[in-house]
Amino acid sequence: MSKLIHNYTFWLFIVACLMLFPHLDVIEINIMEARNFITAREMATNNHWILTTINDLPRYEKPPLPTWLTAVSGIIFGFDSIYGMRFPVVLITLLLVFGVYKLSEKLGLSKQQNFHNGLILITSFYIYFAGRDNQWDMYTHSFMVVCILFLWDLLNEPKKPLFNAVMAGLFFGFSFLCKGPISVYALLLPFLIAYGFTYKFQLKNKKMYLLLILLLGIIIGLSWPLYVKWVDPITYLKVTKLESGRWGNYNTRPFYYYWSFFTQSGIWTVPALIALIYPYLKNKVCNLKAYQFTLIWTLAAVVLLSIVPEKKSRYLLPVLIPMALNTGFYIEYLISNFKNITLKKEKGIVYFAFGLIGIVCIAIPVGIFIKVKNEIVGFEFWLIGLTLSLLTIGYVIFTNLRNKKFIKVFYAIIAVQVAVVVFGIPFTKLILKNPDYASAKAIRKTEKSLGVRTYEINSFTPEIIWDYGFSMPILLNKETNKLNLPLENKFGLLVSETDSIVSKKEFKNYSLRKVSYIDMNHIPKESKKHNDRLTRIYYIVTKK
């Protein structure tokens, strides 16, 4: 029994699985996921594995490795299974969690701290959020963490330099095949800066191996874009020009936009902020050099990302990786010294930060009950589970804060996150509810009964195309700005509500009959967040 209790890898695996696997298909698909899913489906159904497409149109903006993995999962589980389509990103996130756990080991920290660092990572908000959301970011950074592991061994271990170089280069290339050089810039470069400052580079007899990593990574990473450029140069250049034109004028934010980066860790916001205060923590940590390393790595990543004009919250994902390690130093200090803290301000911050979480444990089930009390039928199990677990955890937090047993407080905080994921996520079906929701799949019944094919008038929405299940031709020719009407005498047509189709001269010889609509919003029309992009009017167009 004692061996099982101290089997940290086992418990880290259990917690990570509880954070990632439950209710994987409940949260609605977003635009980024829909693009990835459509491309994966067309890989398998149309054999577009190399020259990737979306809605049968070339899609060369992003490298294809995550989509390849998603397509394989779709073949295994079926493309109608959202759970199966998100399964690959869960596995990749597990790779990240245990990669960070191994990196923590290499820093010379205790087994318990390595375990705690892994727990902090997987319960950081944007880590488990991205780990349940099949976008490219998690793939590119997870592969880069593995690259960093082998690079660390090459820099610090005399054994197997060729093996470490080849493996580092391989995962460097995999990272590049997920999202280009993003992780090289946002994760690897800050790592090298931090390593150079704290551990210093000893490159004797290692320069050739480092060159091998670079060459192997570049060869693997550039293999797909170079092939596409060779096979389809005109389209590739158009895409490249479009993508490069966005730099500097697309989602631009001020330099200080990321300064609240530590809030992306969610429940660890306050500990993460305190761990960044070097003058306060430098004399309290168990391993000063390792702390300096994780601190510089974190801050270097933030600064480098801040330099880039284009900014989005999800781009902070690589910052959360070293920040989890950095936060772990403050947590370990509290575990070892909380009983001995005498300063009222210092102790007060701890009581405030973690006591507030205890209060939230009481507020969450009460708030959910008030919100959905009239529609609770069928959700009783989840409400009972959430209420009992959070109230128990809240009691544990308050009791152990009073008794100054911080390690139990820490594990209770982990349990809060697990309880919210396991018992709380199903309530999104009640909270996010649109009475006018209409699936894109539904129009296929109309198509079958009338024997028509459906077209989009001038643009497509990825979520709609994904839900519809097939590609959908677009009538607008963007080069001539004219509609290329189908040859059929009768066809279906999807039109956005803002597009006045009746006034278009191309339809003067056609009669138009509105038969249904699509509304894939999960919130009602009265809400300000209701998105017109997810709505369409469905017409049957008949030649006069």
pLDDT of residue 160: 92
pLDDT of residue 346: 82
Specify whether the CB–CB gap between 51 and 232 falls below 8 A: yes
β-partners of residue 540 are 492, 513
pLDDT of residue 250: 67
pLDDT of residue 193: 97
Specify whether the CB–CB gap between 386 and 365 falls below 8 A: yes
pLDDT of residue 2: 64
The pLDDT tens digits along the chain (544 residues) read 567 777 899 999 999 999 999 999 998 899 999 999 999 999 999 999 999 999 999 999 889 999 999 999 999 999 999 999 999 999 999 999 999 999 999 999 999 999 999 999 999 999 999 999 998 999 999 999 999 999 999 999 888 999 999 999 999 999 999 999 999 999 999 999 999 999 998 888 889 999 999 999 999 999 999 999 999 999 888 888 777 666 656 677 888 788 888 899 999 999 999 999 999 999 999 999 999 999 999 999 999 999 988 888 888 999 999 999 999 999 999 999 888 877 778 888 889 989 999 999 989 888 888 877 777 887 889 989 999 999 999 999 999 999 999 999 999 999 999 999 999 999 888 777 888 899 999 898 888 888 899 999 888 899 999 999 999 999 988 778 888 888 889 999 999 877 766 556 778 888 888 999 999 998 888 888 888 899 999 999 998 8
Specify whether the CB–CB gap between 130 and 314 falls below 8 A: yes
CB atoms within 10 A of CB 373: 9
pLDDT of residue 244: 66
pLDDT of residue 247: 65
User: What is the full DSSP assignment across 128-180?
Assistant: HHHTTS--SHHHHHHHHHHHHHHHHHHHH-SS-HHHHHHHHHHHHHHHHHHHT
* Spatial CA neighbour of 488 closest among 460, 454, 514: 454
Q: Which residue bears the tokens 């799949």?
A: 441
> Tokens at residue 71, please?
């397509």
